[in-house]
């Protein structure tokens, strides 16, 4: 079994980059080899802090830095272009969520990685929260019986200063709004847990923030298995983040995983006992921020895949499913109509 170390370069030294840097530093088998950001001060600061070369030109980093893998942590709308360049340079790609903001560009990224024979990983670290893993196992074991209702709720606070920190935030071209950016993990979780969505109806609004995209919205989902789902999202919660939760109501079980980022078991009740019921307390974590602790588990899977020891938890095709649901939500909000999934390919 190979114990090879993989060199990792990262582009985009913004908010989420620290989670990547810290996780790469902790794991044997991965080593940060270079960082890049178009803002020189950010690139230099990250490079000096982690003791690696820093770049302000992505093309220069790809040409000059020794790396096997490139982490794409730039604004969402730039993920496909940056990922495609990395693939064409023969590098594996780890892409932060969402992998793209259109299906066409998501498909182009998947195709580029296929053509280059490299792996594409899309970061969905909340799937690895211990509490969420227990819910998934309960579903797989049939403990809920028939699932009737599923709710994902994101009541967070993003003040105007957050959007003003970077001109791309809240724009349609590079970011999208509350569903595409902040709630994308929750959109991913609800369909990963309950199954494919058949239709969606949605309303979105920009109620208080000076941005192009929405700061609040709600979507009603009809799942193929007959269950009904609701996703409620706002960035206007006063005065701080209140909850990020998933609730599942079934024939023989009801569960709510809450906290600020689906990390705390708030309700767990089933008709029949399972040894997993003893794990509930241990599954509650208290992460320092809404990103949670999932990056470590995520990177362990990446490392196992690169060593040909495991299948990827979330590849490009899996990442595309949640993007398609988000785009369906936006289409319904724009047209006022119920939108069937999958979407037609023209998007």
pLDDT bracket for residue 286 (50, 70, 90): low
- Tell me the pLDDT of the chain averaged across its residues: 94
Can you tell me the distance from the alpha carbon of 206 to that of 155, in angstroms, rounded to the nearest whole number? 15
Res 32: pLDDT:
98
Encode pLDDT of 212-271 as tens digits. Answer: 999 999 999 999 999 999 999 999 999 999 999 999 999 999 999 999 889 899 999 999
The pLDDT of residue 289 is above 70? no
- For the chain, what are the domain ranges? 6-125+295-312, 127-268+323-340
Alpha helices in the chain (DSSP H): 17-26, 40-50, 58-64, 79-88, 103-116, 130-140, 160-164, 184-194, 280-283, 294-306, 316-335
- Stretch among 139-148, 216-225, 307-316 having the lowest mean pLDDT: 307-316
Q: Is 197 within 8 Å of 229 (Cβ atoms)?
A: yes
pLDDT tens for 324-340 read 999 999 999 999 999 99
Which CATH superfamily, name and number, covers 127-268+323-340? Dihydrodipicolinate Reductase; domain 2 (3.30.360.10)
Strands (E), 169-215: 197-205
Q: Give the separation between CA 286 and CA 263, rounded to whole angstroms.
A: 7
The CA dihedral of 303, 119, 294, 281, to the nearest 10 degrees, is -80
Residue 123: how many other CB atoms lie within 10 Å: 28
pLDDT at 295 over 60: yes
Lowest mean pLDDT among 56-60, 312-316, 322-326: 312-316
CA distance 293 to 341: 32
> Looking at the predicted structure, is the pLDDT value of residue 102 above 80?
yes
pLDDT surpasses 80 at 97: yes
Phi then psi for 280, rounded to 5 degrees?
Answer: -60, -50
Q: Do 6-125+295-312 and 127-268+323-340 fold alike per CATH?
A: no
What's residue 4's pLDDT? 85
Distance CA 100, CA 113 (A): 14
- Distance (Å, whole) CA 331 – CA 102: 12
Q: Which bin fits 250, alpha (ψ -120 to 50), beta or left (φ > 0)?
A: beta
Domain 6-125+295-312 CATH (choose: 2.60.40.10, 3.40.630.30, 3.30.479.30, 3.40.50.720): 3.40.50.720
> What pLDDT is attached to residue 293?
53
pLDDT band at 81 (very low <50, low <70, confident <90, very high): very high
Map residue 83 onto helix, strand or coil: helix
The pair of structure tokens assigned to 87 is: 């693939």
What are the backbone dihedrals phi and psi of residue 286, each rounded to the nearest 5 degrees, phi first?
-130, 80
Q: What per-residue confidence (pLDDT) applies to 125?
A: 86
pTM for the full predicted model:
0.93
């Amino acid at each position: 079994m190979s114990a090879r170390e993989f060199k990792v370069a990262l582009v985009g030294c913004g908010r989420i980059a620290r989670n990547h840097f810290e996780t790469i530093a902790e794991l044997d088998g991965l080593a940060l080899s270079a960082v890049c950001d178009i803002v020189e001060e950010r690139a230099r600061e990250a490079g000096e802090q982690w003791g690696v070369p820093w770049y302000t030109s992505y093309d220069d980093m790809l040409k000059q830095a020794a790396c096997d893998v490139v982490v794409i942590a730039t604004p969402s709308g730039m993920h496909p272009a940056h990922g495609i360049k990395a693939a064409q340079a023969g590098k594996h790609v780890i892409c932060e969520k969402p992998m793209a903001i259109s299906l066409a560009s998501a498909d182009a990224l998947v195709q580029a990685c296929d053509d280059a024979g490299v792996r594409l990983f899309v970061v969905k670290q909340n799937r690895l929260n211990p509490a969420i893993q227990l819910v998934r196992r309960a579903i797989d074991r049939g403990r809920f019986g028939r699932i009737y209702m599923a709710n994902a709720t994101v009541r967070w606070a993003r003040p105007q200063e957050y959007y003003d920190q970077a001109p791309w935030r809240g724009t349609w071209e590079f970011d999208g709004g509350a569903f595409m950016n902040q709630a994308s993990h929750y959109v991913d979780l609800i369909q990963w847990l309950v199954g494919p969505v058949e239709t969606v109806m949605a309303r979105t609004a920009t109620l208080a923030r000076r941005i192009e995209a929405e700061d609040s919205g709600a979507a009603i989902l009809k799942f193929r298995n007959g269950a009904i789902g609701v996703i409620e999202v706002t960035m206007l919660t006063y005065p701080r983040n209140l909850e990020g939760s998933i609730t599942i109501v079934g024939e023989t079980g009801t569960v709510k995983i809450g906290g600020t980022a689906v990390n705390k078991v708030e309700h767990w009740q089933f008709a029949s006992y399972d040894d997993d019921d003893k794990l509930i307390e241990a599954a509650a974590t208290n992460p320092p921020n809404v990103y949670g602790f999932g990056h470590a588990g995520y990177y362990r899977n990446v490392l196992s895949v690169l060593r040909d020891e495991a299948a990827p938890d979330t590849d490009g095709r899996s990442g595309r499913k949640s993007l398609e649901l988000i785009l369906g939500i936006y289409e319904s909000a724009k047209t006022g109509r119920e939108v069937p999934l999958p979407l037609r390919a023209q998007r």
